[in-house]
Amino acid sequence: MYTVKMKGKTVEEAVKSALEVLKIPRGSAEIRVISEGESGVLGVFGGKDAEVEVRAKLDKAEEAKIFVQTCLDKMEYLAQVSVAGQNDDTIEIDIKGDDISRIIGKDGHTLDSIQYITNVAVNKGSETRKRIILDAGGYRKKQEKRVEKIANETAEEVMVSGKEIELPPMNARERRIVHMTVKGIKGVSSHSIGERADRRVVIAPEK
């Protein structure tokens, strides 16, 4: 929840209530007064409450964290979300909890889906886009090491045999890991072939 509308006897009272709901200090809020309210007859009868809209000013990392936590809560998964790190281009979000296997899903599909909608939601309407990467229980790190090992072993086999080798179909993240790994090995190169779900990496002797 980034924005709330709140009513009160005065603007100040409505703002205070909104800040308590958002759990943020006044300096981290954008405040829009919808109505300043009206005093009733003799200050009692026919009065109208003041109404404000208060929006939390968040950086992308905090917004991503809150968005992911909200998604998981609505899915009724027991998990805690934190910002693991960030730089100019990337935000890393870490998920811990009791429902990690369900959050990851088969072959990481559920985690990938949550990551996709988080990227769309957080970057929507923004001039500066950031790539948001979600990890759950160290799943991404383990997958990265597994793919790096496959790339290294295959590259060695290619150098010995002198023949190119096609790897099994991989998702975009896994292919990127292979390309980056092979880039650091002299004597071999890599390129991708195939379409969509059949997209794969070929490791070949460097010409």
The pLDDT, as a whole number, for residue 27 is: 84
Token reading at 151: 């790339």
The pLDDT, as a whole number, for residue 42 is: 52
pLDDT beyond 80 at 183? yes
Give me the domains of the chain, ranges plus CATH numbers: 3-56 (no CATH), 60-137 (3.30.300.20), 142-205 (3.30.1370.50)
Q: How far is residue 43's CA from residue 129's CA, in Å, rounded to a whole number? A: 51
pLDDT beyond 70 at 168? yes
Q: How far is residue 97's CA from residue 100's CA, in Å, rounded to a whole number? A: 6
Q: Region 163-171: what's the mean pLDDT?
A: 95
Q: Region 18-24: what's the mean pLDDT?
A: 85
Q: How far is residue 204's CA from residue 207's CA, in Å, rounded to a whole number? A: 9
Token reading at 69: 């936590």
pLDDT beyond 60 at 41? no
The pLDDT, as a whole number, for residue 1 is: 53
Q: Region 142-147: what's the mean pLDDT?
A: 94
> Which pLDDT band, with edges at 50, 70 and 90, does 22 fall under?
confident
Burial (0-12, 13-18, 19+ Cβ within 10 Å), 80: exposed
With the CA atoms of 134, 135, 139 and 144 taken in that order, what torsion angle do they form, in degrees rounded to the nearest 10? 70
The pLDDT, as a whole number, for residue 133 is: 94
pLDDT beyond 90 at 137? yes
**Mean pLDDT, the chain, integer:** 90
Contact between 8 and 49 under an 8 Å Cβ cutoff? The reply is: yes
